[in-house]
Amino acid sequence: MAEDLAPYKQEFIEFMVASEVLTFGDFVTKSGRNTPYFVNTGRYRTGAQLSRLAGYYAQTITEQFGDRFDVLFGPAYKGIPLAVGIAMELARRGDRDIPFCFDRKQVKDHGEGGQLVGHQLTDGERVLIVEDVTTAGTSIRETVPKLRATARIELAGLIVSVDRMERGNGDQAALVEISETWSMPTCAIVTIEEVMQYLHRRDLGGRVVLPDEVYGRMVDYRREYGPRS
């Protein structure tokens, strides 16, 4: 039931809608799927929004990972402000002062050089990857080899804002597939199932955000692209 969702999850869903990050219509995902909804974290564009977003991530990270990580890594581009904001929020809360780093799209061959900016990874460090949304796991398959080429790190896990609960390259959900492929835990602030349950027929600011027709299209989409095992 929607009312069983933790209050911060409910707040986060409404926050995505108010920020126009979660929208409904006709879109194409990075993996080429035609989808009736889209989560575009590029629409967070103020300091206040980033601060709130980092807070939701920090709360989920604390609950799901505790102190079982040493470094935050944000893949370019959208992961960069996430890693910075979350590190600031964890420090502000007095939890831990966690180093962060992110990658360049192209290796820099002058100045300090290298592919990573920020904390320089060392052998044995446990790296927690922070992403916006994972549909088929494409970006993570590009990210992990970069990290392992830098140092003999351990993968502490992956956290995303919304789990779309879609198939990856096989029949399993992408986050499950990623978890098994790279032997690391994965989690999300909310799942699309939680989003659908909470928003269906709910009035927010004088309008129903997720009416029956759009809800039905999302059900059909999940039936087509959801996990088969």
- As a whole number of angstroms, the distance between CA 164 and CA 127 comes to 23
Q: Which of 9, 30, 105, 108 is catalytic?
A: 108
Q: Is 106 left (phi over 0), alpha (psi -120 to 50) or beta?
A: beta
Q: What domain range includes position 74?
A: 2-225
* Overall number of domains in the chain: 1
Output the pLDDT for position 111. 45
The residues with which 129 forms a beta bridge, in sequence order, are 73, 158
The per-residue DSSP string of 55-112 comes to HHHHHHHHHHHTT--SEEEE-TTTHHHHHHHHHHHHHHTTS----EEEEEEEEE-STT
- Please identify which of the residues 30, 110, 119, 200 carries the catalytic annotation: 110
CATH code for the domain of 181: 3.40.50.2020
User: What pLDDT, on a 0 to 100 scale, did the predictor assign at position 110?
Assistant: 47
> What is the predicted pLDDT for the residue at 5?
94
Instruction: List per-block mean pLDDT (blocks of 10 residues) for the chain, which spans 229 residues.
Output: 85 97 91 90 95 97 96 94 96 91 72 77 97 78 90 97 90 91 95 97 95 97 90
- The verdict on whether 9 is a catalytic residue reads no
Told to judge if 108 belongs to the known catalytic residues of this protein, a careful annotator would answer yes
